[in-house]
Structure formats: C-alpha cells, structure tokens
Amino acid sequence: MSTMARGAVLRAFNEPLTLEAAPVPEPEPGALVASVDLGGVCGTDVHLFHGNLPIPTPVILGHEAVGRVEKLGPGVTADFNGEPLREGDAIAWASNIPCGRCYWCVVEKERTLCENRKVYGINQRFDEGPRLSGGWAEFIYLQPGSAVFKLPAGISPEQAIALGCAGPTAVHGVLEIVGIGVGETVVVQGSGPVGLAAAMYAQLAGAARTIIVGGPASRLDLARSIGVGDVHIDIFATPDPEERRRQVLAATPRGRGADVVLECAGVPSAVPEGFELVRRNGRYLVLGQYTDRGATPINPHVITRKQLKVYGSWAFAEAHYARYVDTLPQLAARFDLGRLVTRYPLEEANRALADMASGSVMKAVLAP
C-alpha cells in the first residue's frame, strides 16, 4: 500500500479545490482502507462548494464512491450482508454512519434523521482523525460502523456509481416511503440523477407509464435513449405550466391525473405545479428539495379537495443502500447505466464540479 494518498480538498467555499496528500492510515479494528476506483460528483457537492450548507473545512469532498478493499482492519471478515470480504474485492459503501443511539435512531427508527451522522465527503475533516474521509481521493478510510457492500457479480464500478447517491435516495423515497403499485401512472418532475433514479425504480416496481417532466432536451434524450420514462415533456420547449398540465393529464388514464407524482426537480415552484398533476386521492412525494431554495405559494385547498397524501423523504440509510446494491443487477439489465457517466481524472475535480453545476453532463465521475 502506498504510504501517501492524494485527495481533492475544499479549504474555503467558492475557492478551487486543491490536490493534497495525507498518509494512508493502518486500519483500526472494525475499519478498512479502500482504494477508490470512481468518486461521483453530485448536485449536493455543487451546493457544498458554494457554502450553501454548514460543513466543516478543510474537507475532502465525495460522498459517492466505489473502490476496492486495500487493507482490512482486525476483525473485519465480511461485508454488511455477511459475504466474506477479501483484499482486492470490489466494494461500495453507504456514505453515512448513523449513531444508532439517539431518539431518531432508536425511538423513531428513522436513521436518515439521525443528528449525529458521520458523512464521508461532507462532515469528516481533512485536518484531523484519519483525514482520508472523502471519495475524491486515491484512498478512503472506512471507519468502524461503515456499511460496506461487495458489488454483485457482473456489476462494474461504473454501473455502481452511475446513479450516485440518487440510487439509494430513490429506494428510500420511491420504494419505501411512497411505494409504487403495479400498473400505476407515475409523473417524475426533474430529469437529473434523482429524477432518472426515481423513474427507473418506478419502472422496476411495475408502473404502467412513467412520465418525465424535465429538461434540457439533451437530458431527456439521454433518458429516452436508455429506456428511462415512457413520455418525456421538455419544460423549455413547453414553458407554460398550464400547457404542461394539459399534456401530462392527457397521458394519464381517463385524464384524471397521475397516481403518484415524484418531485425530483429541487425547484420550489415544482411543488404547486406537481399538485395539479396528481389525481384525487393520489400521492405526492417531495424528494428533490435538498437545499433550502426558499418558499413558494401553495394553495392548501388543493390538498384537502383532492385528499392528497403528501410525503417527504430525506436521503437514505444503510438499509436503503443495501437494497440499492441488491437491485443493481436489475437496474443494469434494464438500463444502460454506463451511458450516464462522464469520467474525469482526479486532477480535474474543479472542471467536473463546474460541469455538474452547468448541467452539461448527467453524471460527472472522478477516476483517481
């Protein structure tokens, strides 16, 4: 194992990331060191870079990554599922470690709401502890308590990283919180990684028709070309929300609206627009509002009159990541996941971040 490893470090918000080296630690009992094959760049990273969320600096960014076991710490013999783990195995890991002791973890049993979560690439400092605690680095130190998974046979690192954190996020929101029934009509607002992951899981779960309302056209074309979504409505080609509503309703059974609408746009005004796309007694999930982009006027009468079920879903925990890994073979068999990915060397982390910010690529991935 090399003794030093480089990572892309955020020292100050809105300042270019710098490549810096730190020693690769010997793993303590329960921990392991992984070499990183690919580290995903997420929309959240763009917000972190701009200082939109309160995180400590300096920090190696990268909460999405896949890699290989470099060195197992004492006592580590198996992955989260009990599969034997050996050096060289291809692995992925959940980005967060809930504390397992707080009210939210124990009483509510909602580990996504844990207030003491450690999150790789977000709240683990570069200037203390094991230092190599982000995915945009040659090596990462996976602390005791990390949920580590061997990749299923036949799944490449590129396929495993293609959806990034949007994959397990969609498992939580779409499969667990709102649930999709066989034959349902689903509208997905948004065509970024969260939107595409949500649409893929709706399709896997048996939706009869999945309607994606998003843009720009290049993203919808990519979705269409790999079989994600059945109907694609471009918000730039159809800027009038009233016209969009007519098109969506026309694509639903008897024009009555979708059974389920999944908000994955991250734009506050998508929510009142989405309420108009759900049928009476339907379900609406707010999945995309990960940063606070302000308020939006909502007419609560619509919720009462339609008897809407409105849900929220925050990120994911180990259980959702486990289900994500288990469903990767199904996703990969049905959708060409690799087409979503654009690779960059670690040295070009700033360009990858800029390209994600501008939306010019669907999924930027660093290859350290």
Q: By the criterion CB under 5 A, which residues form the site for Zn ion? A: 42, 44, 98-99, 102, 105, 114, 116, 165
Residue placing its CB nearer to Zn ion in the complex, 105 or 233: 105
Q: How far is the CB of 268 from Zn ion (least distance, A)?
A: 19
How many DSSP H helices and E strands does the chain contain?
11, 18
CB of 301 to Zn ion, least distance (A): 35
Rounded Cα–Cα distance for residues 286 and 296 (Å): 13
Query: Cα separation of 138 and 38, whole Å?
Result: 9
Which residues have CB under 8 Å from 129's CB, separation 6+?
A: none
- Please say whether the beta carbons of 10 and 135 come within 8 A: no
- For 319-328, give one letter per residue: b (16+ CB within 10 A) or e: bbbbbbbebb
Give me 29's structure tokens.
């009992």
Helix (H, G, I), strand (E, B), or coil: what is residue 22? strand
Q: Give least dist CB 257 to Zn ion, A.
A: 30
CB-CB contact of 1 with 23 (8 Å): no
Q: Tell me the closest approach of the beta carbon of residue 104 to Zn ion, in angstroms.
A: 5
Min CB(220)–Zn ion separation in Å:
22
Nearest residue (CB) to Zn ion, 165 versus 366: 165
